[in-house]
Structures are given as structure tokens and as C-alpha cells.
Amino acid sequence: MNAINPLVRFTVICCLFFVSLANAAPPLIPSAPKLAAKGWFLIDANSGKVIAENNADEQLPPASLTKMMTSYVLSYELEQGNVHNNDQVTVSKRAWAKNFPGSSLMWIEVGKKVALEDLRKGIVISSGNDASVAVAEHIAGSEDSFAEVMNQHAELLGMTNTHFVNSHGLPHKEHYTTARDLAILSKAIINDYPRDYVLYSEKEFTFNGIRQPNRNTLLWRDPSVDGLKTGHTKAAGYCLVASAEKKGMRLITVVMGSKSEEARIRDTQKLLTYGFRYFETHKLYSAGDVLNTAKIWSGTTDQLNLGIDKDVYITIPRGQHKNVKAALQVDEVIKAPVSTSQPIGEVLVTLDDEQLAQQPLLALESVEQAGLFARLWDEIKLFFIQLIGLEL
């Protein structure tokens, strides 16, 4: 593989230089906060960088945090066209509010028809167990079948320590997840269905003349917080998954098993303060941007544009821009035919000895083979160039 293209090297160095002017001092970063919760997790939503964690893989009861997956499955089904927001869902006796005494409810009534869009709000904003069952039955026919779908989505997302048996989160010995897995789910909700994520920021929902506030009180306390979900049962304790954004940096926190509602708020704020104060996230490359133009042999053109198919973000200690290094490693000899998105090399981003990002470098367009004479001529040129050791 040859070295980074000089133009790209110059561009990267210039960008990093100007960014580093903001703060060239060495980082002074304390240890992550110590919380009293059973498990917690702090991650950047764009780069995926884990900033802080504790007991992140301990299987714990999620309580109403379960409804995040219920809502995620609903978003998927809506996107696939299997259900629609204006569907009129008949409330079954099983989904009836009176089957959940003492639980959070939307207050739907048995036998009545409710728009699917309202049921979604009942799940996300009112945290309604009744709404969750109604949606589960509408999508999968029964809550048991819906739980199977939830577990299939969990597996696809990489939630390796999660198992669901219901759509609402009431206790069951086989119903569990982890702080890490909930962060994975939160990241998917935010990035896969951004239009649906907006619902998590709504502060209240009124149905049947009953107004209910969102149980995530951080929506009122911290203007940077715009979701996600709370949960509480005796077995689970007080739980909160939150996401906040400041100056283009989005963090996700998961706190499970706090001792009180106020404790889960304090713990979440400690994590957010730590993440925003001592770390920063930067977008280095955008999907589809031309990062390099390479020589291609035996093709209908002699130049091939190279780039990536997804945005590249890095999260680093604040003030460490000057130490970030980026390199594009390109295959030494590229021959036609080449198809769009074919790997041609890779993009590597490091800070000191830590690898921050690694992405395949892809062909941004296809290049067909040239005619026989042109291909033979290129083969001859390539043979002599390699024979005398010239740089390609």
C-alpha cells in the first residue's frame, strides 16, 4: 500500500491545526464519576466511543426502559409499511388499563378503537403498559409473538445480554438487559429513526381528557436533554436512559438501579457533565466525499475517486486535536473493472497509540475495462514501471 496522497495529507494537517488552536494545553481529565447505581454507561452517539462504564454487562431488570424496544419495533414496522399511524387499533381485554393496577398507563378502554399514532405517544410519553400491549398485539397478533420480534431486533443490533418476554417491562425472571445493551438500543433509535426520536422530547400527552407529563424530568431541568426514557419497579429500582446534545456532540447515558427518582437524575447529570466537560467529538469525513483520487489501470478512465460510505466521527479528550493522525492507505495497483463501493484500501485515524477509527476506503464509482489494445498497453507500461522500481 502506498502512503497518503499529499493533497489529502495537507488537508488533514491543516484542518487539525486550525482546530487545535482553540486549546493547545495538555488534558487534565479526572476519573469518571462514581455512582451508587447498579450499572451505568456513557457513550458518544456518533462515534460510539465509550467514555465511562460500570457493571455495564450485568443483566438487570429494565422496567419501562423495555418500551424503548417496543417503540423501536414500531418504527421498523412503520418504515416497512406493515402498519400505519392512522391504523385504528381495537383495545383488547388483555391490553385494558385495569389489568395493570398501580402501573403507568395511557388509560385506554377495552373495546374502543385508538389510532396507532396515539398509542405510540402513550408508550413513549405516558409510558403506558396498556398502550404497549395494544401495539404488540396489533403488530404481532399476541404479546408473546411480539416479544420474539423484540428479541430478534435485539440480536440484530448486537444486544448480546438482553432477553424480553413482554412489551412493557413488568418483572419477569427471564426479562433482562444491560446498561451497554440499552445504549446500543438508544443509539439505534436516535440514528435509525431520527424523526421518531423527536417524540421522546415531548413533555406531555393528553388522551381521553387525561393530561400526563413525560416522566423524564430532565427535559425541564436541562435544555440539552431531548430524550429518552425512565423506568421503575421494585426489582429494577429507578432507571433512566437519557440523551443530550451540545455544540454538535451527542451523548447517551444509561443509569440502572438507582435508589430514588432524584438519585437517577443526579447520576445522569454527573455523567453528562463529565462527558461534555472533558471530551469532544469531531466529524472528520462525510459519506460520499472524495478523499483521494487514485491511478487505475486498464480502465475506460485512468482516475478513480475514493471515499467512504459513512460519516467518520472521533471522540477524544478535550484539547488533543493536535495529536490526532489520519492516513489513507490505498492499494498499490488498482485494475479495472472496479465496482462502486469496492474496497480499495482503508482510512485509519489514531491518537497516540489508540486507534480511533478504521473504515474501508471505497471506490465511489464503477470503472469498466478498456478495450483490448488499451489494456495491453497499460499492462506493458505497468510491467516496465515495476521492473525498474518506479513509484506508481
Tens digits of per-residue pLDDT, 75-101? Answer: 999 999 999 999 999 999 998 876 777
- The pLDDT of residue 12 is 47
87 and 218 housed in the same domain: yes
70 and 48 housed in the same domain: yes
Predicted confidence band at 236 (pLDDT cuts at 50, 70, 90)? very high
- The pLDDT of residue 367 is 85
Q: How many CB atoms lie within 10 A of CB 322?
A: 12
Which residues are CB-contacts of 382 (< 8 A; sequence separation ≥ 6)?
Answer: 297, 333
Which long-range contacts does 1-8 make (Cβ < 8 Å, 24+ apart)?
Answer: 1/329, 1/330, 1/331, 1/332, 1/345, 2/329, 2/330, 2/332, 2/391, 2/392, 3/327, 4/292, 4/326, 4/327, 4/328, 4/329, 5/292, 5/293, 5/294, 5/328, 5/330, 8/291, 8/292, 8/328
Which long-range contacts does 262-267 make (Cβ < 8 Å, 24+ apart)?
Answer: 263/36, 263/37, 263/238, 264/37, 264/230, 264/238, 264/239, 264/240, 265/217, 265/218, 265/221, 265/240, 267/33, 267/35, 267/36, 267/37, 267/40, 267/240
Per DSSP, the three-state class of 4 is coil
- The pLDDT of residue 303 is 86
293 and 234 housed in the same domain: no
Predicted confidence band at 14 (pLDDT cuts at 50, 70, 90)? very low
Q: Is residue 224 predicted with pLDDT exceeding 90? A: yes
Residue numbers of the domain that contains 108:
39-279
Q: Report the DSSP beta bridge partners of residue 345.
A: 330, 361
- The pLDDT of residue 119 is 97
User: Which has more pLDDT, 375 or 51?
Assistant: 51
111 and 210 housed in the same domain: yes
Domain containing residue 300: CATH number: 2.60.410.10
User: Which has more pLDDT, 163 or 299?
Assistant: 163
Residues 38, 47, 49, 67: which is the catalytic one?
67
- The pLDDT of residue 374 is 66
Q: Count of domains in the chain? A: 2
- The pLDDT of residue 16 is 47
- Look at the block and give the residue holding cell 419501562: 64
pLDDT tens sequence across 147-175: 999 999 999 999 999 999 999 999 999 99
190 and 257 housed in the same domain: yes
The mean pLDDT of 374-380, rounded to a whole number, is: 68
99 and 177 housed in the same domain: yes
Domain containing residue 136: CATH number: 3.40.710.10
User: Which has more pLDDT, 356 or 72?
Assistant: 72
- Look at the block and give the residue holding cell 469518571: 32
Lowest mean pLDDT: which of 3-17, 161-175, 306-320?
3-17
Per DSSP, helices labelled H in 176-260 are 179-192, 194-197, 218-221
Lowest mean pLDDT: which of 20-34, 101-115, 358-372?
20-34
Q: Is residue 106 predicted with pLDDT exceeding 70? A: yes
Distance CA 201, CA 243 (A): 10
Q: Is residue 120 predicted with pLDDT exceeding 80? A: yes
Rounded to 10 degrees, the C-alpha dihedral 83/88/92/97 comes to: 100
Residues 75, 126, 127, 132: which is the catalytic one?
127
- Report yes or no on 26 lying in a domain: no
- Which of 263, 279, 295 corresponds to the end of one domain? 279
Cell of 177: 438487559
The mean pLDDT of 199-209, rounded to a whole number, is: 94
Contact 260, 316 (CB under 8 A): no
Q: Is residue 10 predicted with pLDDT exceeding 60? A: no
- Report yes or no on 31 lying in a domain: no
How big is the CA angle at 17 (ends 15 and 22), to the nearest 5 degrees?
A: 105
127 is known as an active-site residue: yes
